């Protein structure tokens, strides 16, 4: 193994003494161990790698473990843990570039041999003092070997971070890299492979605790010389009265987590207040899950229901929440625990990115660096972290995969936190404390080199995201936070995860919260907003961790006037694709960099920079974000942000801040919105270059690639940009608007050669709908793509009910057959987890549930498969985090090397999405470039008869090259075979007075009733007054309303959106079936609604909250009952009359079913004589009331069983009741 460090050296000691410290000699190294390592690994640098090193002999390794008494080379706890694990350090190397000029190489490329029976690893200590861990490259990787490599040699490729450039800097310990070759016994690695990582972790954790004299179980807490002391406790020893439970954090024990309470005097006060009834639950945090911890705790409590208070720190809060909120998962002992009050301090309520880095070396590097930042004390909160690293090196050497139950519970996208999010917390019992830590610049450099910026993108306490520790659904008075943006002093950001409980003010807050006393501090704002501390704002977070050697921007052919360029801006500007005579305009936005543009600490930048390049010409000028940086810029962006929110709120059904319903901007409003975007993007010098580039296209659209290194700027809908001077939306008339993402991974490319597209259509059935058969789903997929198939433009392979495993199998199979797909088209659900700050797709799971797949797994599934394009027909797939780049689904795939991705930046109507996809694929199959195809598809959506005013700009095209072609152009353009349009409504039909036969279109938007076509045919055969036929309708956007956390479909809004749909479909009445909860202006929890308006003859039936049959006689009876009730009630409403009654009979289609008794829907319903007479008097005369009533009665009897039993109307209902006096 190789250790690289700059502020000290290791000495190696054997025998019982283990690691030993030695004072640094004046000029010579002295050997302190009689048994130095018997093997010195030779290091061979790869030819041309640009690096060299000087090595120390094994005897010289005994120099010293410390560079000084206060600056250890390794944290002492880690030194001891490595010794306990038998790690051998065999050689030291000081690494330097071969030349002192130019940019240092970005990768260490070398080979080393550990000798028989050993495996080498690598640890690097960076100039900042950060430690990083590295395994050899996989043995099957095609990596060039050095000339001197031997058969047993292992090859290393180690990327360097940008701040590890070997130039002298102030404020760091040293400016050189040091490297130690370290080896681990092969038998230890083989044991991990044989056991599996979970079993290995359990055995290791048992050993850690045994070495430290710790034991699992319930312990009583006391004080001895102002230090926390524990003693084992039995259930019988717990006296009567409320007890206080202490639940510790990860890699910790009670003494380590809660030592700060003893130092502030809070523990003494708690022991007094609770009469000595304070207990700590000691538990494993790595190998056991919070559910395991909770079950073991319950078994240790008295066998009767008792009331407890709790103080939970870090991961201990997840154990507490499991006890309080998930009793169903804890078995028969769950009754023993009843929560009264609890304080949750720095708890990862929404997880921590540290629990899901994807690579062990990232976790080890962060923890090792973190251990170097805290005092060497036996009471550190990270009691077992060093042992975790030392034993985990064998896992790294074994390339072990899998998750550890204790850590996986804190995975933001994992199943455990998902179950907590769906639980019902005791909102009046919890109190939360968090911190927003702002480390100084020197510490940031060390943390960044350790990879912390790959974990966090926003405010955090160094371990847990700040907002995640202070969940919003709880009252503002129950949340307290240290640091910037918080409500507790100090506001300097010095409080972090490990010292939070040592703060005297934290002790006061805890005592007040447990005693239910007023907090004495102002509440936090709602919504929460915490400034993050990022010394290199946007730039470091946007670039990958390896040091990028970006090609310089080409020398300008005709450089337009611009502001002076800082050297750093030139280095950080992403290089455009360089083709001969490149005619693409590249617009890149980066943070202002350099001393003259640096942003004051704690404030947001007021000015960024925009870099525009075209055919060798380049301009760089300020890109204003605030009025202070550029007059009018801040006002303009406030308007852009407000309009963007208005669109999002409309699509989500959220009201505006003043409580009024949100609406889409009209055509004029969208042009004003687009003008604001255009003015922001095209600054004066950029506008001149744009005009020059556009003039050179000779009337053809210009390729434009937009890239932003500032996350919140990248998130704006720039596709709406509108040139008010020319009166044109750019993306449909002037340009091919394409986005890119900052990445160091080159795009996968193949030459176009196909005559047709090979598309794998992956469908994950929407959640909340009834299951369709495989054949039905397959037919649904083929229906969407039939025009492409009939035109001979595409070969479609369908994958309905897709699981990640089935998708993986399809892609691997096609890869092995050397016939990879060109395109993967995903139809399903996407979401962006705002807590985990990561996008994801929802697939089916093997057990029929939902399998959430995060971005890293999606990259592994879809990248390096030969795919040219991934089309994501799912919501929020183009959405990204506002504080960290490439966390959304689309940008993560582009970052992984996919040539092109199409995704949606807003929710989109299905007809619009289908129209875009069909036109896009048609253009690609005929040889169009990606940019051309996207533009034509936007135009097609614009003239589509369905859709919203924004739909044409909702799809976002990410591509490295707008001119990429997936198919060779043919000799002639192949037309797209369109399905026949539905016939127009009969001339005799009128919405005011339908003819003798009334046509009713039935649209099962929820796809609940799988046999609906047969059901309607049976109803038609039962009578001849009405003709029912199956039609397709999509739920419009902007028809939602939120109430007390529940999303309702607003019936009036939906009817208004669909008012022209009956005539378009050729029907007199349109009946829709949805699975959403429904409301109107007066009533919540409706399940049947009719308009009573001749201009919009719309019925809506909601299945939400019911378990209704989907086929057969029972399913048909549901449809017949609701259609009969809706038709009669609608026509009676046209006459100003109502058929609804609240008294008996209950088996009447017009009974007001306030309790939502399902029997009133599923049982046979009848028109009793009095109701029949009332109905005859309520129907319009021109509807032939007698024939209509007879037809309605036949509809109600169409699905009667051979011998109808009396309906069971006495059934109790647990459904939510409807409000007001409309039929629910």
Judged by phi (left if over 0) then psi (alpha if -120 to 50, else beta), residue 369 lies in: alpha
What is the predicted pLDDT for the residue at 676? Answer: 93
Please say whether the beta carbons of 693 and 860 come within 8 A.
no
Query: Which two structure tokens, joined as six digits, stand for 589?
Result: 């936005």
How many of the other CB atoms lie within 10 Å of CB of 13? 21
Cβ contacts of residue 651 below 8 Å, gap of 6+? 906, 907, 1037, 1038, 1040
Q: Beginning with the edge strand found earlier in the chain, give each strand of the sheet holding 829-833 in spatial order.
A: 829-833, 838-844, 850-854
Cα separation, 931 vs 961, in Å, equals 8
Exposure letters 938-973 (e unless 16+ CB within 10 A, then b): bbbbbebebbbebbbbbbbbbbbbbbbbbbeeeeee
pLDDT at 1070: 95
Question: Measured between alpha carbons, how far is 386 from 19 in angstroms, rounded to an integer?
Answer: 14
What's the rounded Cα separation, in Å, for the pair 465 and 458?
7
Nearest-angstrom CA–CA distance, 241 and 1161: 52
pLDDT value of position 944: 63
| Contact indicator for 1085, 987 with CB cutoff of 8 Å | no
Half-sphere exposure (CA, 13 Å, Cβ side) for 1049? 27
User: Helix (H, G, I), strand (E, B), or coil: what is residue 197?
Assistant: helix
Neighbouring residues of 48: CB distance < 8 A, sequence distance ≥ 6: none
Q: Two tokens at 863? A: 């990248």
Nearest to 1162 by CA among 1203, 1127, 1137, 1199: 1199
CB atoms within 10 A of CB 850: 13
Q: Calculate helix-pair angle for 774-790, 910-925, nearest 10 degrees.
A: 50
Q: Which residue has the tokens 């030349």?
A: 99
How many CB atoms neighbour CB 78 within 10 A?
Answer: 23
| Stretches in the chain below the pLDDT threshold 50 | 1-38, 58-70, 140-149, 151, 165-174, 357, 453-454, 534-581, 593-603, 767-774, 776, 979-995, 1204-1215, 1217-1224
Calculate the alpha carbon distances from 994 to 147, 196, 694, 1096, 1181 in Å. Answer: 89, 72, 56, 13, 12
d(CA 1167, CA 1196): 9
Instruction: Note if the bond before 794 is cis, omega within 30 degrees.
Output: no
Q: Please, is 48 exposed, middle or buried when counting C-beta atoms within 10 Å of its C-beta (0-12, 13-18, 19+)?
A: exposed
SS3 138: coil
Would you state the pLDDT for residue 72? Answer: 59
**What is the three-state SS of 956-1014?**
EEEECCCCCECECCCCCCCCCCCCCCCCCCCCCCCCCCCCCCEEEEEEECCCCCCCHHH
Q: How far apart are CA 1159 and CA 1121, in angstroms?
A: 11
* pLDDT confidence of residue 452: 60
pLDDT at 531: 80
pTM (whole model) above 0.85: no
**How far apart, in Å, are the Cα atoms of 785 and each of 464, 795, 914?**
46, 10, 9
Q: Which of 468, 478, 464, 490 is nearest to 432 (CA)?
A: 478
The per-residue DSSP string of 680-742 comes to HHS-HHHHHHHHHHHHTTTTSPEEEEEEESSHHHHTS-GGG-EETTTTEEIIIIIEEEEE---
Q: Which residue has the tokens 């041999």?
A: 113
CB contact at 8 A, 613 and 576: yes
For residues 302 and 960, what is the distance between their CA atoms, to the nearest angstrom? Answer: 64
Sequence-ordered strand ranges (E) for 740-837: 757-763, 794-799, 823-827, 829-833
The residue behind tokens 């939970």 is: 312
Q: Cβ–Cβ contacts within 10 Å for residue 36, how many?
A: 22
How far lies 414's CA from each of 388, 423, 806, 912, in Å? 22, 15, 21, 33
CA distances from 44 to 1, 57, 138, 155, 156 (A): 14, 15, 18, 9, 10
CA atoms of 480 and 466, how far apart (whole Å): 11
Planar angle of CA 828, 833, 839, nearest 5 degrees: 55
Question: Under a CB-based contact definition with an 8 Å cutoff, are residues 1126 and 1222 in contact?
Answer: no
Element spanning 247, H or E: strand 243-247
| Domains of the chain with CATH codes | 2-195 (no CATH), 211-514 (3.40.50), 559-739 (no CATH), 757-959 (3.40.50.1460), 998-1035+1061-1197 (3.40.390.10)
Burial group, residue 401, by CB count within 10 angstroms (0-12, 13-18, 19+): exposed
The maximal CA–CA distance of the chain, rounded, in angstroms, is 114
Of 72, 79, 90, 66, give the one whose Cα is nearest residue 1: 90
pLDDT at 627: 65
Closest CA to 406 of 291, 313, 321: 291
Task: For the beta carbon of residue 67, count every other beta carbon within 10 angstroms.
Answer: 18
Question: Both tokens of residue 304?
Answer: 């009767």
Write out the two tokens for 1063. 């005539």
By three-state DSSP, how is residue 1177 classified? helix
From the list 476, 481, 459, 483, the residue with the least C-alpha distance to 525 is 476
Q: Where are the beta strands (DSSP E) in 407-554?
A: 430-435, 479-482
Q: What is the pLDDT of residue 195?
A: 81
Q: What is the pLDDT of residue 359?
A: 64
Q: CA 350 from chain center: how many Å?
A: 11
Q: Give the burial class of 377: count Cβ atoms within 10 A of its Cβ; 0-12 exposed, 13-18 middle, 19 or more buried.
A: exposed
What pairs with residue 363 in β-bridges? none
Cβ atoms < 10 Å from Cβ of 560: 18
* Planar angle of CA 849, 854, 856, nearest 5 degrees: 140
| 3-class secondary-structure state, position 279 | strand
């Amino acid at each position: 193994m190789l250790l690289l460090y700059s502020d000290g050296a290791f000495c190696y000691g054997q025998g019982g003494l283990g690691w030993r410290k030695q004072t640094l000699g004046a000029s010579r190294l002295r050997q302190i161990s009689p048994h130095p390592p018997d093997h010195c690994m030779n290091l061979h640098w790869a030819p041309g790698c640009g690096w060299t090193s000087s090595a120390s002999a094994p005897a010289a390794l005994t120099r010293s473990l410390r560079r000084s008494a206060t600056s250890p080379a390794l944290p002492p706890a880690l030194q001891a843990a490595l010794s306990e694990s038998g790690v051998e350090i065999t050689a030291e190397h000081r690494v330097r570039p071969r030349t002192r000029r130019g940019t240092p190489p970005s990768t260490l490329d070398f080979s080393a041999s550990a000798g028989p029976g050993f495996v080498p690893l690598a640890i690097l200590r960076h100039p900042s003092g950060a430690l990083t861990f590295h395994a050899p490259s996989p043995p099957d990787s095609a990596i060039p070997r050095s000339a001197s490599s031997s058969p047993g040699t292992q090859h290393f490729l180690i990327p360097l971070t940008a701040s590890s450039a070997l130039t002298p800097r102030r404020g760091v310990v040293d400016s050189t890299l040091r490297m130690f070759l370290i080896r681990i016994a092969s038998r230890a690695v083989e044991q991990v492979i044989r056991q599996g990582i979970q079993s290995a972790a359990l055995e290791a954790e048992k050993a850690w605790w045994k070495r430290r004299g710790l034991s699992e179980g319930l312990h009583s807490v006391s004080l001895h010389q102002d230090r926390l002391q524990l003693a084992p406790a039995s259930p019988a020893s717990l006296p009567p009265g409320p007890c206080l439970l202490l639940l510790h954090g990860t890699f910790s024990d009670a003494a380590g987590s809660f030592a700060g309470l003893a130092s502030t005097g809070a523990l003494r006060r708690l022991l007094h207040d609770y009469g000595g009834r304070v207990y700590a639950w000691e538990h494993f945090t790595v190998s056991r899950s919070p559910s395991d911890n909770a079950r073991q705790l319950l078994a240790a409590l008295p066998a009767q229901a008792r009331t407890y208070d709790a103080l939970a720190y870090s991961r201990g809060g997840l154990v507490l929440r499991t006890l309080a909120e998930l009793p169903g998962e804890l078995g028969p002992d769950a009754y023993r625990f009843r929560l009264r009050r609890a304080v949750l301090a720095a708890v990862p309520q929404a997880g921590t990115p540290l629990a899901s880095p994807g690579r062990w070396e990232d976790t080890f590097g962060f923890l090792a660096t973190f251990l170097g930042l805290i005092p060497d004390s036996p009471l550190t909160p990270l009691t077992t972290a060093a042992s975790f690293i030392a034993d985990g090196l064998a896992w790294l050497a074994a390339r072990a995969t899998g998750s550890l139950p204790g850590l996986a519970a804190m995975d933001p996208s994992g199943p455990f936190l998902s179950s907590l999010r769906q639980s019902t917390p005791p909102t009046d019992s919890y109190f939360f404390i968090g911190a927003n830590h702002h480390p100084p610049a020197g510490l940031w450099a060390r943390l960044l080199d350790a990879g912390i910026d790959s974990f966090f993108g926003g405010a955090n306490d160094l371990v847990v995201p700040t907002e995640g520790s202070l969940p919003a659904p709880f009252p503002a008075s129950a949340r307290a936070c240290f640091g910037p943006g918080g409500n507790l002093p100090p506001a300097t950001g010095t409080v972090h995860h490990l010292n939070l409980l040592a703060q005297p003010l934290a002790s006061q807050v805890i005592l007040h919260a447990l005693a239910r006393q007023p907090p004495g501090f102002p509440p936090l704002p709602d919504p929460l907003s915490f400034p993050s501390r990022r010394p290199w704002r946007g730039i470091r977070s946007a670039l990958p961790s390896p040091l990028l050697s970006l090609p310089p921007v080409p020398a300008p052919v005709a450089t337009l006037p611009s502001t002076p360029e800082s050297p750093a801006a030139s280095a950080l500007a992403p290089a455009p694709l360089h083709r001969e005579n490149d005619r693409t305009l590249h617009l890149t936005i980066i943070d202002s960099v350099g001393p003259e543009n640096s942003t004051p600490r704690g404030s947001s930048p007021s000015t960024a920079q925009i870099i525009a390049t075209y055919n060798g010409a380049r301009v760089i000028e300020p890109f204003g974000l605030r009025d202070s940086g550029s007059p009018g810029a801040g006002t303009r962006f406030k308007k852009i942000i407000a309009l963007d929110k208005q669109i999002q709120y409309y699509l989500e059904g959220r009201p505006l801040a003043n409580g009024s319903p949100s609406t889409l901007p009209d055509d004029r409003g969208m042009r004003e919105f687009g003008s604001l975007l255009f003015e922001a993007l095209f600054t004066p010098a950029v506008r001149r270059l744009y005009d020059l580039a556009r003039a050179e296209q000779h009337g053809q659209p210009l390729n434009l690639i937009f890239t932003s290194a500032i996350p919140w700027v990248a998130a704006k809908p720039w596709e709406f940009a509108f040139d008010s001077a020319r009166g044109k939306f750019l993306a449909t008339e002037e340009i091919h608007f394409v986005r890119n993402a900052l990445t160091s991974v080159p795009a996968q490319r193949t030459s176009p050669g196909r005559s047709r597209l090979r598309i794998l259509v992956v469908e994950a059935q929407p959640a909340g709908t009834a299951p369709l058969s495989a054949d039905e789903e397959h037919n649904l997929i083929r229906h969407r793509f039939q025009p492409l198939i009939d035109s001979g433009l595409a070969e479609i392979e369908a994958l309905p009910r897709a699981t990640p495993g089935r998708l993986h199998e399809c892609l691997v199979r096609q890869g092995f057959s050397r016939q990879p797909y060109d395109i993967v088209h995903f139809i399903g659900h996407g979401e962006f987890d705002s807590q985990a700050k990561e996008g994801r797709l929802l697939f089916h799971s093997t057990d029929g549930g939902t399998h959430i797949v995060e971005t890293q797994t999606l990259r592994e599934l879809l990248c390096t498969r030969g795919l040219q394009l991934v089309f994501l027909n799912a919501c929020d797939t183009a959405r990204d985090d506002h504080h960290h780049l490439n966390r959304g689904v689309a940008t993560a795939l582009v970052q992984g090397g996919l040539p092109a991705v199409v995704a949606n930046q807003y929710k989109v109507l299905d007809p619009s999405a289908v129209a875009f996809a069909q036109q896009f694929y048609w253009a690609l199959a005929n040889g169009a470039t990606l940019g051309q195809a996207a533009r034509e598809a936007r135009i097609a959506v614009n003239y589509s008869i369905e859709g919203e005013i924004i739909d044409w700009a909702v799809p976002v095209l990410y591509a490295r090259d707008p001119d990429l072609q997936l198919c060779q152009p043919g000799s002639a353009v192949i037309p797209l075979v369109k399905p026949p349009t539905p016939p127009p409504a009969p001339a005799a039909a009128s919405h005011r007075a339908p003819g003798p036969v009334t046509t009713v279109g039935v649209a099962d938007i929820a796809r609940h009733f799988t046999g609906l076509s047969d059901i309607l045919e049976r109803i038609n055969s039962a009578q001849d007054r009405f003709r029912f036929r199956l039609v397709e309708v999509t739920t419009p956007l902007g028809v939602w309303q939120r109430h007390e956390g529940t999303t309702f479909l607003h019936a009036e809004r939906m009817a208004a959106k669909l008012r022209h749909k009956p005539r378009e479909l050729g029907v007199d009445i349109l009946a829709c079936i949805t699975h959403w909860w429904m409301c109107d202006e007066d009533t919540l929890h409706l399940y049947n609604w009719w308009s009573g308006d001749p201009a919009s003859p719309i019925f809506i039936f909601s299945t939400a909250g019911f378990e209704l049959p989907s086929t057969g006689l029972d399913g048909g009876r549901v449809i017949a009952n609701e259609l009969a009730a809706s038709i009669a009630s609608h026509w009676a409403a046209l006459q100003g009359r109502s058929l609804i009654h609240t008294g008996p009979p209950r088996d009447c289609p017009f009974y007001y079913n306030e309790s939502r008794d399902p029997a009133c829907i599923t049982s046979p319903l009848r028109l009793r004589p009095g109701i029949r007479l009332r109905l005859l008097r309520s129907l319009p005369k021109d509807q032939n009331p007698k024939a209509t009533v007879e037809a309605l009665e036949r509809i109600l009897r169409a699905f009667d069983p051979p011998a109808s039993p009396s309906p069971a109307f006495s059934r109790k209902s647990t459904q939510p009741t409807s409000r007001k006096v409309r039929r629910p």
